[in-house]
Structure 1
Amino acid sequence: MNVMPPSEESAQPVANARMYSATPSVKADWKQLLAWALARAGLPWNVIDYDAPAPLSALWARNDLGLAMMCGLPFAQRINEARPPTLVAAPLPSPARYGGKPVYFTDIVVRADAPYRTLEDTFGGVVGYTLADSMSGGVALRRHLESYRTAARPRLYREAVGDLIHARGVIEALATGRIDVGPLDSYYHDLLRRHEPGFAAQVRIIASTPALPIPPLVATATLHKDELARLREALLATAAAPELAPVMERLLLAGFAIPDPADYRPLAAMAAAAATPFEEL
């Protein structure tokens, strides 16, 4: 496995899609797609492994990323840096609920056999979250819940359980009864439902947040203008490449878009405004 921490960065850019490698087979498909795009772009970069439990924050801190999925929140928070990450492209999930746009949601889920029918039904129970600074697994859920707080009901839950790390951790915590309700990145959730339906069937959706810009593929390495153009052309070409059709279908991808980096700025503002810790919700 080719895993290098920030202190051992590659001499040339690398590619990685850890964020949405929901299962081993999905990881293999992402690696195939990225390798295809790099070959079409004429870029001899390596597609590296960077598996859990290695922290994603360490991956995103590297300066040799040529094509890597990054959570939209740290991307937004770094837009004003002297050398911000370059937004290369963003996925277009194919399920109908995404409307052909580079967006996603936070699915708020409960155990499949739980008695809850609405989000309000879970109030008074135990809420779980992945990481407080995760967009889909923390900030989006916190902002959504804050709208339900009132002077008469300042506390929604009796307890909060954090550090569930990822979607699998949320599902496992729900299945074992550690929590009553928790958040899932909707695209990751859809990939689990497609590839591990038995595992995903342990939970069901009772609410979803409004759409937000989906985590983009970015570069932290310095790319020449021509390299960036070739890389974007290759990613856009995935939608119509017949040899990639089975991979795209399995990844629930309609293709890629090139959104404006400014589309992600509201995520940083949302995180700054989400002032109530989960433990006080």
Structure 2
Amino acid sequence: MTTSSAIACSRMYNLSPRISTLWDQLFHWLADRSGVELEVIAHAAPAPLSELWARPDMGAVFMCGFPFSQLSPAERPQPLAAPVSLADWANGQPVYTSHIVAARDKQLTEADLATARWGWTVRDSQSGYNAPREFFAMLANRPSAAQTVGSLLNPRGVVDAIRSDTIDVGAIDAYAFQLMAMHEPDMIAPLRIVATTKPAPFPLLVAARQQSADIVDALRAALLGAHQDTEGSDILASLGLSAFAKPDVAAYDQLPIRARAIDAALGAW
């Protein structure tokens, strides 16, 4: 079975050319094992992710859990699989967190965090917007409003803003941080982790709702079995993953509830 109408994209985690090459290897393996012809595209920043997620030819594309949760069941793309990180914070589950990071030479107490300049990425991001807001809302003796700078677009923007002293702290997707630690340690060398946020369901690989059932089934089966394939397992390890798991859609449905609670406590940043 082949198709020429399915794209694959790891834009959310294309943190460097070296890391992008590893994702390309995964997608080439996926195409081979599933029998689905995948065109790997970059959809590089600053092209809006919303445009990528609206494409009717999505075959295997990373999508943030929060915008996925905002769509009605009839509008959502078809979930394929969610990654399981080898990092301790994943605890063997398809979840992730955000690391609150600061300059390595800047010592910050919890009281300092309450009055620090916070950076955020984009407002439809779980890891770069809702997660740090949720963390800030739980700080003791915090002011009613935070000093914020945004939008910084992605983890690279947060790193650059800290290095230029535009912000004091920001949130970086813990899996993105893991990938940078593995493959681009110089990128995070100026940073230290100050805290880690509550877990949330991992961004998931999705196919367009218009894709046929046989294509979706083939892609999903290959991803869920990747850890049992010698080559697939090696590629997963190079990406800091142990496996892909079936996404728990009900877990994603909790994200808007959490966001509304944050809105009630803080309002928008």
Give the TM-score, by structure 1 length: 0.88
2:118 pairs with 1:127 = yes
> 1:140 Cα deviation (Å)?
1.4
Conserved 8 A contact 1:13-1:221: no
Secondary structure (helix, strand or coil) at the match of 1:228 reads: helix
Conserved 8 A contact 1:119-1:206: no
Aligned amino acid, residue 149 of structure 2:
V
Q: How does 1:136-215 map to 2 (within 5 A)?
A: 136-148=127-139, 153-155=142-144, 157=146, 159-215=147-203
Q: How does 1:233-252 map to 2 (within 5 A)?
A: 233-252=221-240
Counterpart of 1:219 in structure 2 is 207
Q: 1:162 to 1:277 in 2, by over 3 A?
A: farther
Counterpart of 2:62 in structure 1 is 69
Counterpart of 1:49 in structure 2 is 42
2:106 pairs with 1:114 = yes
> 1:11 Cα deviation (Å)?
6.9
Q: Share of identical aligned residues, percent?
A: 38
Moved more, 102-111 or 241-250: 241-250
> 1:32 Cα deviation (Å)?
1.2
Q: Which runs of 5+ in 1 are unaligned?
A: 1-9
> 1:38 Cα deviation (Å)?
1.9
> For the residues of structure 2 that align with 1:173 and 1:258, how far apart are their CA atoms?
36
> 1:131 Cα deviation (Å)?
1.4
> 1:45 Cα deviation (Å)?
2.6
Q: CA RMSD in A?
A: 1.9
Moved more, 177-186 or 38-47: 38-47
Aligned amino acid, residue 39 of structure 1:
D
* Alignment: residue pair count: 265
Conserved 8 A contact 1:160-1:278: no
Give the TM-score, by structure 2 length: 0.92
2:33 pairs with 1:40 = yes
Secondary structure (helix, strand or coil) at the match of 1:182 reads: strand
> 1:96 Cα deviation (Å)?
2.4
Per-residue Cα deviation, 1:84-136 (whole angstroms, up to 9, x for no partner): 211110011112221111000011111111021x4432222211111122110
> 1:44 Cα deviation (Å)?
1.6
Conserved 8 A contact 1:124-1:156: no
> For the residues of structure 1 that align with 2:209 and 2:143, how far apart are their CA atoms?
46
2:224 pairs with 1:232 = no
> For the residues of structure 1 that align with 2:248 and 2:114, how far apart are their CA atoms?
38
Counterpart of 1:7 in structure 2 is none
Secondary structure (helix, strand or coil) at the match of 1:54 reads: coil
Conserved 8 A contact 2:60-2:205: yes
Per-residue Cα deviation, 1:171-214 (whole angstroms, up to 9, x for no partner): 11111111111100000011011111112111111111111100
> For the residues of structure 1 that align with 2:178 and 2:194, how far apart are their CA atoms?
15
